[in-house]
Amino acid sequence: MNTLIVAALLLVLLGLAYQLGWSKSRNLATANGARVHSRSQYHGSLAVLWTMLPALLVLAVWAFFSPGVQHWYAVSQIPTDILTSLNQTQLNQQLQRLNDLASGYGVTGELQPFEQAAGENIGRFQLLSFLIMLAAAAGLGVLGLMLAQRRITPRLRARTEVERAISLLLIACSAVAILTTVGIVASLVTEALRFFSFINPLDFFFGTVWAPRFSSTGAGDAGQYGLLPLLTGTLMISGIAMLVAVPVGLMAAIYLNQYAHRSVRAVVKPIIEILAGIPTIVYGFFALVTVGPFLRDFGNAIGLSISATSALTAGLVMGVMIIPFISSLSDDILNQVPRSLRDGAYGLGATQSETIRNVLLPAALPGIVGAFLLAVSRAIGETMIVVLAAGNAPILRGNPLEPVSTITVSIVNQLTGDTDFTGPQSLVAFALGLTLFIMTLCLNVVALYIVRRFREQYE
Amino acid sequence: MTSTTLDTAAERRKLVRAGLSRRHVGEKMFRFFGVVAIVLALGFVAILFADVLRKGIPAFTQSNIHLSVTFDPEALNVDPAPVREPGQSDAAFNAANLAWQRQVAMLNWNTVIEAALRNAAPQGFDIDSRQILSIVETDARHRVREVFVRDPSLLGQTVEVDLLASANADNWVKGNINRDLSDTQQQLSAPARALIDTFEENGTIRQGFAWSLLSNVDSRSAPASAGLLGALMGSLWMMLIVVVLAVPIGVGSAIYLEEFAPKSRLTDLIEVNINNLAAVPSIVFGLLGAAVFINWFRLPLSAPLAGGLVLTLMTLPTIIIATRAALKGVSPALRQAALGMGASRTQMVFHHVLPVTFPSILTATIIGVAQALGETAPLLLIGMNAFVAAVPGTPVEQATALPVQIYLWQGNENRNFFEARTSAAILVLLGFMITLNAIAIFLRSRLEKRA
């Protein structure tokens, strides 16, 4: 409610500012016949900027300090003898009660003698501080507007100033992407370092047992956090996925690119790309309820024991998910191989498949390797399919027919719904995340570098 | 001499012939592998969709029990609803009303439902009260009570009400339960099963469209009435945040990098950085959200606000890359014409270049939003997998999202009932994604034609 009032007032003020700036510059041009440097819109926009910035500054300061001030005032309303008898939770409950009274919702239970008055005081204080803030914001805004109005002369370079503001805004937008990376690295590294203060990094990176204990079961023993079982599971599933995706994806791309009729290509390509748009949770569910039981029954039929949730199940379905990724990247890359190479091979009498195998693919190899690496990085970071279909068994073993666990599964298991990152149980998620981030980052950097080099080679 | 050359020529021809047929077989094999790959890929799409449709479509119909419920004054010992007297204050009337509603809530509504069920059953059907109530969903008493609270004058009258059958009864009717299992293995008792069959024959139990799936929130105690409304609203809030934040920031950033930024080490770094961000696993964004938004900024846990911010950061690279590609594609003639007419760089970009790229930016936005809509893993890490049985009215209330709801439902112990329900939820999610993508394709073709 309050936010809406503030936003509405701000909008009214800004509209007014624009109008005033616009008409003043207009008057200059029409009344005096002066040659004004900038068009009226820019004068209006400049007035808006001069009004908005001080007002927003006040709002930001208020948003930052007001919770603390409100808290301090509310606490000061509780009599000292009662205050000293309360512990932290009771204090929070008491403050909640007072706030409910202040906002007029009312509370259940008997009112303590001081509560009614305190509630009213707090309500009054909240209203007053809100009004003061509003007045300050509006006042400073109007002040800014007046200054802006006084600056408007024919020689004022309003357009240059507005454009400088716009370009600052655009730089700020670009900074968001950088800040995201910085945020990822900072949060992963700091929390992972905290984890390594509990667990020796050597035990983490080279440990062969994954058995995190939850703090409730034993206070002293934190459990074992060996990465290797998870790493092997991750690599095994990614390997199976690539075994499915690379032949199918690559052959599909070659066929669509070299053999298929235009009309076939126009229909088939989007249908394959549908696979890329399906949410991974859907693949996970499909793997869990359809592919897994099918593989188990199939294994029974041929006398092989296959678990319903296993590395094989997850890997197969993940492979399907990656097919469009491989096929569309390879398609792009095949398109970039110059036609002259192909024509040369045909001229020497090579058949189409010979041209593809001996000329096209070797020429496109770097690009295809890049696509392959990008797909591996996608497979390693994939979460929902493995959460549902890999079986969550963090044991070091090499049999793909049995349940395994992966890095991503363990992140989800260790962190769901936790907020206090105090023990190694939840902090390990960040160490795992850091490992994952570094692995995918290396793959991506190498892959993007290869693809870029490949493009430049033929440009 | 000539004969030997002729011989070798003939032999060579023979050799070539033999090689040619081998090469042609190779050619055919290669083509065949290509066709196999295409068929496999298309087959996967077909199997996936057929499987989800086959499992999900039955869950869109649900068994309703049509009952004549009598609000028997003897069973419902309740005061008349308070009527507003002249001069009564708001507070006093509200208090009286609340007291009355509390009294109504304390009544045993199951007796009313049981009476209605017995009334619908054949005369003298032998079944105990717990068994007969296992046919209707446990929230039926709330439904009946709501009917009464809405119109208290119904006391003593009979109304026709459609109540949801319980999950077990629904499974029994749909044949999802093996009828040959012994009594000890059945969830429903023998009389209850017999009564359900009778009800089905005499039309008391009918199949209807499962509106509960779309109009209800999630429920643990009453699985048959569990719905997606809360998750839909949660997803809607998040998508709103993504559109409001990711589009301006993404487009702004793309404009700066493509049009204004000087070519330098720094911009190169930003470019590499954005390409890398696009390939960072989504779960890492979840870790970022947990550490930064939840732990440092203390945003509310399980709220669409935190989820929306995480998804925004995930969607940004998609929009930036697509917008940059679109800006690159604008013809230099347009820029030069604008600059030649005396436009400033900013005017050139905002008045002439940007409007041309509008279709591409719109398409990229929709595709980015569709991607964000289906994302599950990062949301799990910021607590959006909590059980929430309410529709979030604001983005800071607890909520869940559509894909997370699917994740929660697939883990439900009542496998027999929730497998179909989960598939139905998947169909709803896929429906949204297909709609979004179709809109993107349609808009692009429309706008590009005009441009």
Percent of chain A past pLDDT 70, that is, above it, reads 95
CB contact under 8 Å between A378 and B279, yes or no, is: yes
Instruction: Tell me the nearest-neighbour CA distance from B149 into chain A, angstroms.
Output: 24
Query: What pLDDT is stored for residue A123 in this prediction?
Result: 83
| Separation of alpha carbons B243 and B368, rounded Å | 9
Tens of pLDDT, residue by residue over A317-329, are: 999 999 999 999 9
Query: What pLDDT is stored for residue B141 in this prediction?
Result: 86
Query: Is B400 an 8 Å CB contact of chain A?
Result: no
Q: What is the 3-state secondary structure (H, E, C) of chain A?
A: CHHHHHHHHHHHHHHHHHHHHHHHHHHHHHHCCCCCCCCHHHHHHHHHHHHHHHHHHHHHHHHHHHHHHHHHHHHHCCCHHHHHHCCHHHHHHHHHHHHHHHHCCCCCCCCCHHHHHHHHHHHHHHHHHHHHHHHHHHHHHHHHHHHHHHHCCCCCCHHHHHHHHHHHHHHHHHHHHHHHHHHHHHHHHHHHHHHHHHCCHHHHHHCCCEEECCCCCCCCCCEEECCHHHHHHHHHHHHHHHHHHHHHHHHHHHHHHHHCCHHHHHHHHHHHHHHHHCCHHHHHHHHHHHHHHHHHHHHHHCCCCCCCCCHHHHHHHHHHHHHHHHHHHHHHHHHHCCHHHHHHHHHCCCCHHHHHHHHHHHHHHHHHHHHHHHHHHHHHHCCHHHHHHCECCCCCCCCCCCCECCHHHHHHHHHCCCCCCCCHHHHHHHHHHHHHHHHHHHHHHHHHHHHHHHHHHCC
CB contact under 8 Å between B374 and A279, yes or no, is: yes
Question: Which of B55, B373, B376 minimises the CB distance to A280?
Answer: B376
Residues 6+ apart with CB under 8 A from B190: B183
Give the domain ranges of chain A: 2-156, 223-457
Find which of B17, B287, B394 to mutate to test the A interface (most A CBs within 10 Å of its CB): B287
Give A168's pLDDT tier (boundaries 50, 70, 90): very high
| Separation of alpha carbons B48 and B93, rounded Å | 58
CB contact under 8 Å between A436 and B283, yes or no, is: yes
Query: Is B1 an 8 Å CB contact of chain A?
Result: no
- Does B87 score more than 90 pLDDT? no
Question: Which of A173, A288, A380 minimises the CB distance to B252?
Answer: A173
| Separation of alpha carbons A410 and A405, rounded Å | 7
Find which of B17, B21, B36, B280 to mutate to test the A interface (most A CBs within 10 Å of its CB): B280
**Helix or strand holding residue A211 (H, E):** strand A210-212
For residues A35 and A154, the answer to whether their CB atoms sit within 8 Å is yes
Tens of pLDDT, residue by residue over A196-221, are: 988 888 888 998 888 887 654 444 56
Residue closest to A323 by CA, chosen among A381, A275, A287: A275
Give B308's pLDDT tier (boundaries 50, 70, 90): very high
Whole-Å CA distances, B207 to A31, B34, B368: 78, 47, 38
Of A390 and A94, more confident: A390
Tens of pLDDT, residue by residue over B402-447, are: 999 999 999 888 888 888 999 999 999 999 998 998 888 888 788 7
Nearest chain B residue (CA) to A160 = B344
Tens of pLDDT, residue by residue over B338-350, are: 999 999 999 999 9
Question: Which of B260, B276, B371 minimises the CB distance to A441?
Answer: B276
Give the domain ranges of chain B: 2-58, 60-216, 229-450
ipTM, two decimals: 0.89
- Specify the CATH number for A223-457; select among 2.40.340.10, 1.10.3720.10, 1.20.120.1200, 3.30.930.10: 1.10.3720.10
Relative to beta strand B205-209, strand B61-70 is antiparallel
CB contact under 8 Å between A436 and B281, yes or no, is: yes
Residue closest to A376 by CA, chosen among A436, A308, A332: A436
CB contact under 8 Å between B37 and A249, yes or no, is: yes
For residues A454 and A370, the answer to whether their CB atoms sit within 8 Å is yes
Give B324's pLDDT tier (boundaries 50, 70, 90): very high
Find which of A187, A392, A409, A451 to mutate to test the B interface (most B CBs within 10 Å of its CB): A187
- Does B321 score more than 70 pLDDT? yes
**Matching residue, tokens 């049009």:** B259
Chain A partners within 8 Å of B317 (Cβ): 177
Burial A421-430, CB ≥16 within 10 A → b, else e: bebbbbbbbb
Tens of pLDDT, residue by residue over B230-280, are: 999 999 999 999 999 999 999 999 999 998 988 888 888 888 889 889 889
Topology annotation, domain B229-450: MetI-like fold (1.10.3720)
Percent of chain B past pLDDT 90, that is, above it, reads 34
Sign of the torsion formed by the C-alpha atoms of A68, A71, A73 and A79:
negative
Query: What pLDDT is stored for residue B327 in this prediction?
Result: 93
- Does A94 score more than 90 pLDDT? no
